Amino acid sequence: MVRRILIAAVLLLGGLAAYAQVDSLAMEKALDLLSEYVVALDPESPEKKSQEVDYIIETCTDPALRQAVAQMLYDHYVTSNVMGDEEVAIHMYDRWFSTHEIEMGWDGALLNAAFFAEYNRRSLMGMKAPEVTLQDRYGQTVLFPDLDGETRAVLFFYDVDCYKCRIEMGKLVEYLPTLEIPLDFYAVYTGFKGDMWDYFIDSEWDVNSANVRMHHLWDPQMTSDFQQAYGITETPRMFLLGKDGTIIGRRLNTEALRQLLDLSVLEEELYKKSPIGSKVPRMRVPGIMVKGDKVKEGNYCLRSADYLMFYSPTCAHCQEEISHCTGYPGKKLLIDMDSMGEKDIDKLYKLLDTFDLSSLPHIISLKKGRVTGKYLTFIE
């Protein structure tokens, strides 16, 4: 469905480019198709979205059409509520607008785009959280964030005079004591009123939890550059960091934080399944064994393969992986999870207990029956 929308949009854009003057109704139809397409792209990664955006823009050879399409796409991604979409907007600024290959549509737009890019490019999803030096309420210098590799962390930037901040704080104060996992919570005051901030800590940040360590920090001299490091142009702003300091959530509210923490804990538990070095069960399953150009169906022991690929025949990503697997050396055992669920529910549950099959395809490499790699791909 997504690809059909793109093909229709590209054909229409290509047809428009053949005319000396682009018809406004046809232009509107093309932009409507593109709007439908970018919404359909929401589940994709920022890297994939950036590639698709470049492809669409390159399709437009007419300068006016290219400018209109690029502006529409940029406006979508710079205002999107989908976490990670800001990376696509920054990519567009770097690739198309800052180089003046495409001009932005109104005076001041390029300056705004440059400001957005510079204030967000250091704290994107998947990046390590920038380290800055702040002060605690007692005037001691503190490295922020200072992680031990054992706990996740929340970074919450707020102002005592911010009404939205106080609403969000009320929700956080209610939610944080319910956590059953260790968490470092950094509450960073972005203002200058030290006395009011000190009073605020005692009166408003009442988080009584054995699992949450509260850190109250600020930058009274405004020398740390935390605003640009984390894109703090307004408050509140909230980030979630993984145990290694990687940003796994940004622009969060309390409900989104709760969902991400639940998901993060679940993913950690799933990742623990079939750890590197462990032996897979000595069980036989129906599957397709692929070795070079030879393909044979049968019942095979899991330990007999060099790669295990769990897949669904209705999954486009699975089919793409299968189409590339013949180029890999060794024996690949392809296991249809849909068929397994219909024919042998006991074996299905055994596989689900052993492997992280929350997302398909899932590819594992083996050596003498022991796991040597997980979450692999055959696509180079």
Q: Which pLDDT tens digit goes with each residue over 264-277? A: 988 888 889 999 99
pLDDT in tens, 328-359: 899 999 999 999 989 999 999 999 999 999 99
Question: With 60 as the cut, is the pLDDT of residue 5 above it?
Answer: no
Q: Are residues 41 and 109 in the same domain?
A: yes
- The whole-number pLDDT of residue 105 equals 77
Q: Are residues 60 and 140 in the same domain?
A: no
Mean pLDDT of the region 101-126? 93
Under 8 Å CB-to-CB from 134, ≥6 apart: which residues? 141, 142, 144, 188, 217, 218, 219, 224, 226
- The whole-number pLDDT of residue 29 equals 76
Question: With 90 as the cut, is the pLDDT of residue 2 above it?
Answer: no
Q: Are residues 88 and 109 in the same domain?
A: yes
366 within a domain of the structure (yes/no): yes
- The whole-number pLDDT of residue 250 equals 95
Q: Does residue 176 sit in helix, strand or coil?
A: helix
Q: Are residues 293 and 319 in the same domain?
A: yes
- The whole-number pLDDT of residue 147 equals 87
Q: Are residues 198 and 78 in the same domain?
A: no
Question: With 80 as the cut, is the pLDDT of residue 373 above it?
Answer: yes
378 within a domain of the structure (yes/no): no
- The whole-number pLDDT of residue 9 equals 53
Alpha carbon distance 120, 227 (integer Å): 10
CA atoms within 13 A on the CB side of 257: 25
Helix (H) or strand (E) holding 290: strand 284-291
Question: With 80 as the cut, is the pLDDT of residue 150 above it?
Answer: yes
Domain containing residue 145: 132-271
Question: With 70 as the cut, is the pLDDT of residue 245 above it?
Answer: yes
Q: Does residue 244 sit in helix, strand or coil?
A: coil
Q: What is the mean pLDDT of the chain?
A: 90
- The whole-number pLDDT of residue 22 equals 53
Question: With 90 as the cut, is the pLDDT of residue 148 above it?
Answer: no
Question: With 80 as the cut, is the pLDDT of residue 309 above it?
Answer: yes
- Give the pLDDT band of residue 17 (cuts 50, 70, 90): very low
Q: What percent of the chain has pLDDT over 90?
A: 76
Q: Are residues 7 and 101 in the same domain?
A: yes
Q: Last residue of some domain: 220, 250, 271?
A: 271
231 within a domain of the structure (yes/no): yes
- The whole-number pLDDT of residue 220 equals 95
Helix axes 63-79, 2-17, angle to 10 degrees: 150
Reference 34, options 55, 62, 18; nearest CA is 55
For residue 350, give the CATH number of its domain: 3.40.30.10
- Give the pLDDT band of residue 7 (cuts 50, 70, 90): very low
278 within a domain of the structure (yes/no): no
Q: Are residues 161 and 95 in the same domain?
A: no
pLDDT in tens, 60-104: 888 888 898 899 999 999 999 899 999 999 999 999 999 999 999
Our count of domains for the chain comes to 3
CA separation (Å) from 258 to 79, 188, 191, 240, 264?
23, 20, 27, 10, 10
Mean pLDDT of the region 305-319? 94
**In which residue are the tokens 């009404």 written?**
163
- Give the pLDDT band of residue 32 (cuts 50, 70, 90): confident
279 within a domain of the structure (yes/no): no
